[in-house]
Amino acid sequence: MIMNHFLWLLSLVFPHLSSPVILLERSDGNLFHLNHLMKGDKLVLHRSKRDWMWRQFFLSEEYMGSNYQYVGKLRSDKDRGDGTARYILSGEGAGTVFRIDEKSGDLHATQRLDREEKASYTLQAQAFNKITGLPLEPATEFIVKIHDINDNEPKFTKAVYTASVPEMSDVGTFVIEVNATDADDATYGNSAKLVYSILQGQPYFSVEPETGIVRIALSNMDREVRNEYQVVIQAKDMAGQMGGLSGTTMVNVTLTDVNDSPPRFAYSSYHLSTYESAEIGSSVGRIKANDGDEGENAEMKYRIVDGDGKEYIDIITDEITQEGVIVVKKKLDYESKRVYTVKVEVTNTHQDPNFAVLGPFLDTAIVKVTAKDVDEPPVFSRPQFVFEVNEDTPKGIAIGTITAWDPDATHYPIKYAIDEHTDPERLYHIDPKNGSITIIKSLDREVSKWHNISVLASEMNNPHQRSRVPVLIKVLDVNDNAPEFAMIYETFVCENVRAGQHIQTISAIDTDDPLVGHKFVFSLSSMNPNFTVFDNEDNTARILTRRSGFNRREMSVYYLPVVISDSDYPIQSSTSTLTIRVCSCDATGNMRSCSVEALLLSAGLSTGALVAILLCILILLMIVVLFSALRKQRRKEPLIFSKEDVRDNVVSYNDEGGGEEDTQAFDIGTLRHPEVIESNKLRRDIIPEILFPYHRPSPMKECADVRDFIISRLQENDTDPSAPPYDSLATYAYEGNGSIAESLSSLESSVTEGDHEYDYLSNWGPQFKKLAEMYIGKDTGVAN
């Protein structure tokens, strides 16, 4: 039978395998796997395919031996043991981490392995024939798993944790949860099973061993006593047993504030002082209560609850410094009260009802404020004085008295005066000693109904201590003004008007102000045949015509005096004249034509307006004339613009002589005798400004001719240093010799006219015909 041919039964049991592998080898080399599969009482054998003798190996990590660590033996069922089989290894770590003996198939690990770095290696093994080089079997894959040992300590996710919890929390209150991890295999043994414990922080805190949750372990933990704690938590593997590895972390726990501390004053009473002149609202001092809480739990509010000085002293809360600021509520007076006492209460603004049992959350203290004396100015009996006076009150009458006193204990006498800036017209006078005000000028309510003056009061011994008070003086009305027309009326009446026709409505005004109002009465001063006045009894009146048939050619203007009276006492009346012009109108009463002045007035232009228009026109004309004169003056140019102007200048003398009888304007003897020229006469062709000393011309000999005189003068001017630095042209009226008419001058003529003959004028030609007729006719008449 086939069972007789079994050579041996080999059972290989590997202590690191989960189940043994039983191999059966037959004499012909076929291998069978013997599986524990039973059918009844018979053992069933299955024939296996030719395969390797292994599938999986286990290897311990962190091997400490000096030799290579043996992993296992590889053997193919084609290996007949004759040394012709050669084993080749490939895959992860082949040749570096793992090494195989080519002949025997023994597998070794050459390095120290760490499961936490790599938990398994996948390799391929194949057997070759050394002689042929052909593979004996296809490559087969197998796995080498690294067996875990407890070589890693637990590590927390954070080196330091930070947590906060309210103070005064109950026992068991959650604080924080810490977490640690272990790199060892959690599926094998207890290498990665952690247990938490507390090493530092007891008895205040505790930690749950399995979860790592930190909780409060002590009640009534007060932040004001201690606000920070450091807790050390340990995590240990191997379920906390001896020999397990451990790691630690630090937890910084901060107690947050709750309002569990009421405010408290450091002292039961406080003493402050200030001058009695301190302004209302000014600070006297500060007090502060202590509160161990912080933030909004330490916010406080101060108030005054009692005391004889609560009307004068107040307290406000400084929200930044949480101090109570004592301020002046009402003016202090050293002379009437020197010490002001108040009771101050302080409370928390944010109170927690959970801690009400720790209260009350308020405190009180006494604050005493001492007023210090200062030299104060005089004080008036009233903040302002109001007096009334009739406008017809005579001068020198007193209208009221101002009173003031020195509030200091010295009680110095007071001196009164009126501020001159408030009474520029000097209407009033005040007695410097008793303060009585009198009138020194007449008053007129129609000019000013109220007078607002200021009275100054100063100490006699210290004039710098001075106060002022407003004094209002109301001027009461007296009926001293007569009513008058409310406006200037421009009234006209048509030529074709009928009798009794209304032509104008008039009204009146009165600058007086009676208590019962105005009541005016209108009437005529005398009977008027042309017009009449009808009083409407409402402070107006109508002007009516008494006849018809007005003619502007006969009378163009009528003047109607109207008497206006008031009803006050004493009665005042005045007469106002109404000007009525006669104009031409159409059948409906519309004005068609009138005098020039009436037409203008009907267009709405009064006499005053016309005068104003004429004045404006006159002013405009004056401005135009002035502007023209200024422009003409600007157009005049100076004779010499500058010293650099070297252009030729022609000086023209347009002086016309007075004729033959004018012997002073021109004297031919002057030309012939130059030595008689006045030495102080300046040249007329230069600017009259003496830049050089006057050069007196040298005397000349008597010239036979004017030409010689001019030549000599030209030479003189060329050598004269005071002559202008430009050429000038001087023209002399020298006729010269050879004139047919000879000299026309009458200087050498005889005294009488009878010596002259004028017949030769008729020979001079038509140009002198008129002259010949005049003189020849004259001589003929004389002869006759």
Average pLDDT over residues 124-136: 86
Evaluate if residue 746 carries a pLDDT over 70.
no
Question: Cα–Cα distance between 385 and 387 in angstroms, integer?
Answer: 7
CATH class of 155-256: mainly beta
Fold classified for 484-593? Immunoglobulin-like (2.60.40)
Note the pTM of the prediction, 2 decimals: 0.40
Q: State which CATH number among 3.40.640.10, 2.60.40.60, 3.50.50.60, 3.90.930.12 fits the domain covering 264-372.
A: 2.60.40.60
Cβ within 8 Å of residue 145, ≥6 positions away: 56, 57, 58, 59, 119, 120
Cα 405 versus chain centre, distance: 48
Q: Quick one: pLDDT band at residue 30, thresholds 50, 70, 90?
A: very low
Q: Quick one: pLDDT band at residue 309, thresholds 50, 70, 90?
A: very high
Mean pLDDT over the full length of the chain? 78
Evaluate if residue 63 carries a pLDDT over 90.
no
- Angle, CA of 424, 425 and 427, to the nearest 5°: 115
Nearest alpha carbon to residue 579 among 551, 555, 611, 603? 555
Provide the percentage of residues in the chain whose pLDDT is more than 90: 35
Residue 582: exposure state from Cβ atoms within 10 A (0-12, 13-18, ≥19): buried
CATH code for the structural domain at 379-476? 2.60.40.60
Question: Cα–Cα distance between 264 and 62 in angstroms, integer?
Answer: 68
Q: What pLDDT is stored for residue 133 in this prediction?
A: 83
Q: What pLDDT is stored for residue 15 in this prediction?
A: 34
Q: What pLDDT is stored for residue 561 in this prediction?
A: 93
Instruction: Extract long-range pairs of 182-187: CB within 8 Å, 24+ residues apart.
Output: 182/152, 182/153, 182/154, 182/155, 182/237, 183/116, 183/152, 183/155, 184/115, 184/116, 184/148, 184/149, 184/150, 184/151, 184/152, 184/237, 185/115, 185/119, 185/148
- Position 668, amino acid: I
Q: Specify whether domain 56-147 bears CATH 2.160.20.10.
A: no
Q: What pLDDT is stored for residue 203 in this prediction?
A: 92
- List the alpha helices (DSSP H) in 506-555: none
Q: What pLDDT is stored for residue 131 in this prediction?
A: 81
Question: Cα–Cα distance between 232 and 214 in angstroms, integer?
Answer: 11
When computed from its CA atoms, the radius of gyration of the chain, rounded to whole angstroms, is 71
Q: Which residue has the higher pLDDT, 560 or 748?
A: 560
Evaluate if residue 2 carries a pLDDT over 50.
no
Q: What pLDDT is stored for residue 714 in this prediction?
A: 77
Question: Cα–Cα distance between 261 and 22 in angstroms, integer?
Answer: 82
Evaluate if residue 674 carries a pLDDT over 60.
no
3-state SS class at 494: strand
Q: What pLDDT is stored for residue 481 in this prediction?
A: 83
Question: Cα–Cα distance between 729 and 751 in angstroms, integer?
Answer: 37
- Do the domains 264-372 and 155-256 match in fold? yes
Q: What is the pLDDT of residues 393-409, one digit of tens each?
A: 899 999 999 999 988 87
Domain coordinates of the chain in residue numbers?
A: 56-147, 155-256, 264-372, 379-476, 484-593
Q: Where would I find the beta strands (DSSP E) of 208-245?
A: 213-216, 228-236
